Each structure stands twice: as C-alpha cells, then as structure tokens.
C-alpha cells in the first residue's frame, strides 16, 4: 500500500510525519501544499481532508489528519527502527512531552511566528482576496486564527503572553533535557521528532532565550537531531527560507564535535 | 506499588478508576477533596511534569518512582504496564483513532465541560466558604495557568455571555461524537477501548450541564452510548469509590481553552 503525504514546509505539524517517515525509511509520495497560497483550503485538498488542516497522510484507503497520533501510527505500522521506547513509563513521558509541545509550547510560538512571518507575507495581496480566502476555510477555529494572522489582529497583550509562555516552556524543556538525554529518556523517539519540529529555529527566533549559555542542553539536543541523516534529508525538501533556518544548528566546523 | 491520588469519580478523576477496574488491578488510593484545595497540600506528590500538566486539576498515579499525570496518557500507561486485557486496540488504525479522539476531545470537551460544571456547582460552593481563605489558597497556586482556572471563578469571567459562548462550542464536538456512534457502538474500532474510558466521563455529565445540546431527541446515539457505558461493571465499580452522594456534581477547573480564539 502506498503512502501519500500532503504537507507544507518541514516545520511544525507538517514536519512531524515527514521526519518520522524518513527515520523509518518509508518511501512516500510528497504533495507539497503552499500554505501562503491557501492550497490547503482548495477543493482538491478538501476532498482529502474536509477540515482543511495540514498535514494529511493517505495510506491505502485510510486518511490521517492528526499529526501526533499519525506519528504513532507510522511507527506502529511500518518496519524500521522503533521510535517509541519499550518501557511504559518512558512511553508515557514521550506522550506527555508531545502534548506539552503541541498544546502549550507550539500555540504560543506559532502566534509569534504568524505575527511576524505569515501575516506580513500574506498581506502582500489585496484584502478582498484575503477575505475570500478566509471565507473558504471550513473550520471556524481556523477561520479565527487566519483572520487574526492575516489582518494583524493579535493584541499586544496576547503577544506578550505568548512570549512569556515561550520563555517558560523553553526553561522547562532545558530543565528536562538537563536530566534526560532524549525526551523519553535514553533513546531517540517520536518525542524528539515532535520537539525538533517545534524548536529547531528557536536559537534564531529567540536568540536571547535559547543559546549556548542559557540553554546548553537544548542546543546540544537540537544539534544531535540535526546531524541525523533523516533530518538532513527532510529539511532538504524545504522550498522556502523557512526551512533554511535550520543552518543555525551547524556546528562551527573548526570546533571539535561533542 | 501502585497508588492512585484521586478525588470524586467525575470527569478526569473518573477515567483511571474505570481503567483500573477493567484491568482488575490491585492498588491503593489517596483520596483528596479537589474542590477544597487538598491537592495543594505540601506532601502531595509533585515533579516537573505533574506541576505543568495541562489538565490543571486531575488524578495522579504513582507507580514506584514515577508520577503519571495527564489522564489520556495515564489510560495508555495503565493498559501497557499492568496485566489484564489491553485497553488500546491491537489494530494500528484503531489505535490511531483512539489517540486522535483523545487529542480532539481533550482540547474540546476537556476545556468546555469543566467550565460548565464549575459554573453550576463549584462557583456556589466556593461562594459558601470564607472568601479570605479561598483567595489565599488561590493566590498560592503555581504555575499561573493553573491559578487562572480558579481565578476565573472569582473575577467575573463566568459572565452569562461567556457561558453562552462556551455552551455553543459544544455543538461541533458533540455532532462529531454523535456521527461516529451512528457508524459503530464504540469510538475506536469494533470493541470497547480506552477511547471510551477517555470520552465517557466528559460526556455523561452533559445531559445535566447542557440539556439543550445532549438529549434523547438531538443526540439519541450518545444517550444510548451513555446507558451502555453506565451498565459496565468497571464504571459501576469506579462510582462506588464516591464519598459524596453526588460525585457527578464535583467539578474543578480543567484544560485551558485555546488562546487562538
């Protein structure tokens, strides 16, 4: 049975199944959707995922639209290295951190990202075209999110609160990684894949909070993942400058590798 | 060494009680009154994850040295770590369905149901206590997000307009569950699973909290499903742990609503 993945850049939710499939060595048909052209709200894609959210994976006749459970499905279904630890407590920890990334860290980080990147990029186009694009979004919650991003409706308080949460979550993650080599313990897992997609550009977007002095364990963890062949392969699929941000994780070639 | 820190069998607290009964597990309990701030006692178990858990108030399962929080994943932990029948489907697509429901309903019902329950039951309860004592308890809660769930009950957040909006947000997840139950008796595949243990405690209080949305006429499949679940031995056993006459009226703040609107 073939696998088709509908995705945007290797970043956030799209990058989670991309990197998981690459780690497992699963060949898949890549269908790139341009988020800024609203490809995900066009009829061709709505026929695949009526909610109009990305990513979506099609395996045989089945469609998967929730990115974190999708990662577990990929690990459960395909041969290749196991990406979930055997120990139930380590598995629980992996899932706990994935939820923390998905539901606490990512929404605040993406609010900042949308306000400075996606909103301004999309506002190059006429407002009536943007409004028409918003009107086509199937889920009300996504319509609200896009309206805020496209018309710059984030309040100063909301953005300040998001910045506070990003700092708070960064410090919690640093604390965790100071006691644990990987998210779930001794072995690389889906938790690291999830966290990497969230955090690979933190040293660039939050340089005062995420750097070698303040968060050495996060920096080392990000670099270790960046050096994996599957991460190189996946980020090479990026088509915009967004994916190129990953270069911030390049070690100084003159310095010895840790 | 398995010990469940639990309050009345309702919402998040109800879930592990059902799962442990399904497993016929041997465990001890530490009962606390979550509506009277007993979970903030200095000797209550706490670590990085339990302190930051997004359900804000909920049970803890202490297994050896590990403190398990966050009930959807607690159910998977119970399934994987204890002997007895697996609560996670063996088929990987059905297991995906279980996790997708947990993610979706966690964000939806997990944030809506506690607000409706707190508005109806916890708010008047807190109002009956000494205000200075309540405010002192709340002021000491960390982190800010957890404290905010309690502050909302005191600062006027629970206005009629706010509660109307929260009620309206129920429509989409309830429609999705009703539709799923037209296609099958259980939420994740052909058999009962942790998806049902995860969803039932959030659904079973809605005929009381939101009778206009969940009722015999509008959601007949959900009403049948609630009766089917209520008849299970594990659900009855979980309810027998109640220490008050009305555990279904015990609510504490739950998951925060999405900050994206």
- CB A169, CB A147: distance < 8 Å: no
- In the predicted model, what is the mean pLDDT of residues B48-71? 97
**CB-based contact A62 B103, cutoff 8 Å:** no
Tell how strand B66-68 and strand B28-31 pair up: unpaired
Residue predicted with more confidence, A116 or A34: A34
The pLDDT of residue B2 = 97
pTM of the entire predicted model: 0.96
Predicted confidence band at A108 (pLDDT cuts at 50, 70, 90)?
A: very high
- In the predicted model, what is the mean pLDDT of residues B42-48? 94
Give the whole-number percent of chain B exceeding pLDDT 90: 98
Select the residue of A99, A141, A172 nearest B48 (Cβ to Cβ). A172
- pLDDT of B43 > 70? The answer is yes
Q: Which of A121, A115, A135, A111 is CA-nearest to residue A37?
A: A121
Residue predicted with more confidence, A126 or B209: B209
Query: What number is the ipTM of this complex?
Result: 0.97
* Interface residues from chain B to A (CB-CB < 8 Å): 48-49, 52-54, 63, 66, 68-70, 73-74, 76-77, 80-81, 92-93, 95-96, 99-100, 103-104, 107, 143, 172, 258-261
Q: What is the mean pLDDT of chain B?
A: 97
Among B100, B198, B256, most A C-beta atoms within 10 A, so best to mutate, is B100
Predicted confidence band at A258 (pLDDT cuts at 50, 70, 90)?
A: very low
Residues 6+ apart with CB under 8 A from B97: B89, B187, B188, B189, B195
**CB-based contact B92 A76, cutoff 8 Å:** yes
CA distances from A199 to A102, A219, A244, A245, B3 (A): 12, 10, 14, 11, 35
Rounded Cα–Cα distance for residues B84 and A95 (Å): 22
- In the predicted model, what is the mean pLDDT of residues B89-115? 97
Residues B177-187 have pLDDT tens digits of 999 999 899 99
- Residue A27, Cβ density class (10 Å: 0-12 exposed, 13-18 middle, ≥19 buried): exposed
Residues B225-252 have pLDDT tens digits of 999 999 999 999 999 999 999 999 999 9
The pLDDT of residue A117 = 82
Select the residue of B77, B143, B258 nearest A107 (Cβ to Cβ). B258
- In the predicted model, what is the mean pLDDT of residues B14-31? 98
- pLDDT of A254 > 70? The answer is no
Rounded Cα–Cα distance for residues A92 and A85 (Å): 9
Residues B157-166 have pLDDT tens digits of 999 999 999 9
- In the predicted model, what is the mean pLDDT of residues B196-224? 98
Rounded Cα–Cα distance for residues A250 and A223 (Å): 7
- In the predicted model, what is the mean pLDDT of residues B134-138? 97
**CB-based contact A69 B74, cutoff 8 Å:** no
Predicted confidence band at A253 (pLDDT cuts at 50, 70, 90)?
A: low
Residues A179-197 have pLDDT tens digits of 999 999 999 999 999 999 9
Residues from chain A contacting residue B93 (CB–CB below 8 Å) = 62, 73
- pLDDT of B261 > 60? The answer is yes
Query: Which segment, A35-49, A86-100, A121-135, A150-164, is predicted with the most confidence on average?
Result: A86-100
Interface size A-B, in CB pairs within 8 Å, comes to 88
- pLDDT of A123 > 90? The answer is no
- CB B202, CB B111: distance < 8 Å: no
- pLDDT of A256 > 60? The answer is no
DSSP state letter for B257: P
């Amino acid at each position: 049975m073939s696998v088709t993945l509908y995705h945007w850049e290797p970043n956030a939710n799209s990058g989670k199944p991309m990197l998981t499939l690459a780690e497992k060595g699963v060949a898949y048909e890549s269908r790139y959707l341009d988020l800024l052209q609203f490809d995900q709200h066009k009829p061709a894609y709505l026929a695949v995922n009526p909610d109009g959210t990305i990513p979506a994976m099609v395996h045989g006749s089945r469609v998967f639209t929730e990115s974190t459970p999708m990662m577990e499905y990929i690990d459960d279904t395909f041969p290749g290295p196991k990406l979930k630890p055997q120990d139930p407590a380590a598995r629980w920890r992996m899932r706990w951190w994935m939820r923390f990334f998905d539901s606490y860290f990512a929404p605040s980080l993406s609010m900042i990202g949308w306000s400075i990147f996606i909103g301004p990029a999309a506002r190059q186009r006429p407002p009536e075209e943007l409004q028409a694009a918003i009107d086509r979004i199937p889920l009300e919650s996504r319509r609200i999110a896009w309206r805020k991003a496209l018309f710059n409706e984030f309040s100063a308080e909301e953005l300040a609160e998001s910045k506070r949460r990003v700092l708070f979550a960064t410090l919690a993650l640093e604390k965790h990684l100071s006691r644990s080599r990987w998210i779930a313990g001794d072995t690389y897992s889906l938790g690291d894949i999830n966290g990497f997609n969230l955090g690979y550009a933190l040293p660039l977007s939050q340089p005062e909070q995420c750097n070698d002095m303040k968060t050495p364990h996060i920096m080392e963890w990000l670099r270790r993942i960046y050096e994996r062949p599957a991460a190189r392969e996946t980020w090479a699929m990026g088509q915009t400058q967004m994916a190129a941000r990953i270069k911030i994780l390049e070690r100084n070639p003159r310095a010895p590798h840790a | 060494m398995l010990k469940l820190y639990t309050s009345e069998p309702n919402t998040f607290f109800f879930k592990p009680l059902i799962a442990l009964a399904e497993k016929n597990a041997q465990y001890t309990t530490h009962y606390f009154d979550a509506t009277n701030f007993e979970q903030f006692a200095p000797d209550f178990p706490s670590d990085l994850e339990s302190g930051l858990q997004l359900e804000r108030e909920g049970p803890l399962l202490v297994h050896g040295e590990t403190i398990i929080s966050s009930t959807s994943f607690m159910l998977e932990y119970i399934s994987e770590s204890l002997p007895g029948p697996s609560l996670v489907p063996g088929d990987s697509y059905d297991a995906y369905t279980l996790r997708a429901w947990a993610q979706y309903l966690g964000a939806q019902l997990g944030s809506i149901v506690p607000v409706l329950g707190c508005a109806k039951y916890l708010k008047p309860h807190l109002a009956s206590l000494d205000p200075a004592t309540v405010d002192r308890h709340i002021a000491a809660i960390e982190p800010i997000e957890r404290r905010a769930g309690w502050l909302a009950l005191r600062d006027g957040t629970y206005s009629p307009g706010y509660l109307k909006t929260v009620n309206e947000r129920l429509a989409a997840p309830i429609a999705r569950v009703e539709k799923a139950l037209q296609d099958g008796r259980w939420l994740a595949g052909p058999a009962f699973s942790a998806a049902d243990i995860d969803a039932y405690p959030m659904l079973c209080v809605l005929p009381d909290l939101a009778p206009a949305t969940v009722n015999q006429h509008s959601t007949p499949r959900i009403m049948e499903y609630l009766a089917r679940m209520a008849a299970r031995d594990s659900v009855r056993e979980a309810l027998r742990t109640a220490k008050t006459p009305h555990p279904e009226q015990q609510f504490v703040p739950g998951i925060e609503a999405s900050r994206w609107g």
